[in-house]
A and B are shown apart, each in its own frame.
Chain A
Amino acid sequence: MKTLTRIQGYVMNANVFEPHWKWGDEAPKYELYLTPYDSYEFYTLEDRIEQLKQEHKYSKPQSFLTLESAATSTLTDRIIYGTQIKFESLLAPKLEGNLSDLTHDHELQYKFVQVVGHLQIQDLGNCFLSFHIVESAVHPAEGFDA
């Protein structure tokens, strides 16, 4: 399955220059929360997550699970948070275009960007979105009232 994702939208919050270290994490993470331009992205992602989970399920050798252990072993996905999509990575993403001159996270906020990453699944079956490139983009409606 193709896991590459390219999503355009507005940056709501970013920890791209200063990775975020949360309680329980083994290493600091680079994070970015995006409000997608196209709301279909939510449904597309949900479909792809479901497909990835199915593939993951059938790629693993079958093991016996009690009802109790099956219920407790499910972890939630870390992708859709209300109206935002979360990207996370252990490696610093590359900033391209007009964003390459930025030096602080707050400068990224409110910017319209394209984020390139991959939909990934962990051993326990929960999904997340990694990101590798953040590039500046032009909003398709820019200048409509000019």
Chain B
Amino acid sequence: MASNQGLTPKDYNWINSKCCSIATMEKYGFSDRDLRNELYVLGVFAFRHFHNVGMPTDLLHPSLIDQTESQEMVASNQT
């Protein structure tokens, strides 16, 4: 049975790029606060994209019922 849950190859690319960026930031000596912020974004991205709802309008409200940032982004992510 087809499911609309799960990460797409494009999502994986985004996550891979973000993981590399965060590691580079750590190497450059960014503060723990900056690294935490980025890791939070990574978590929200993975959670929301797994459930196919895109990023929330307000990143501080990541629950699935919160509005999606842009329908375009979700649509482009599905292609």
- Residue ranges of A at the interface with B (Cβ–Cβ < 8 Å): 10, 12, 35-37, 39-40, 42-43, 82-84, 109-110, 112, 139-145
For B73, the chain A residues whose CB sits under 8 A away are: 40
Interface of A is mostly: loop
Q: Is B75 an interface residue (CB 8 A)?
A: no
- Total number of B residues with any Cβ neighbor in A under 8 Å: 24
**Contact assessment for B25 and A10 in the assembled complex, using a CB-CB cutoff below 8 Å:** yes
Partner of A12, one of B24, B31, B37: B24
Instruction: Name B61's closest neighbour in chain A (CB-CB).
Output: A144
* Residue from B21, B36, B40 with most neighbouring chain A CB atoms (10 Å): B21
Task: List 8 tightest A-B contacts by C-beta distance, closest first.
Answer: A39-B17, A140-B59, A83-B21, A141-B37, A141-B40, A39-B14, A83-B24, A83-B20
In the bound assembly, the distance between CA atoms of A33 and B44 in angstroms comes to 26
CB 8 Å contact bits of B30-48 with A (1 = contact, 0 = none): 1100101110110010000
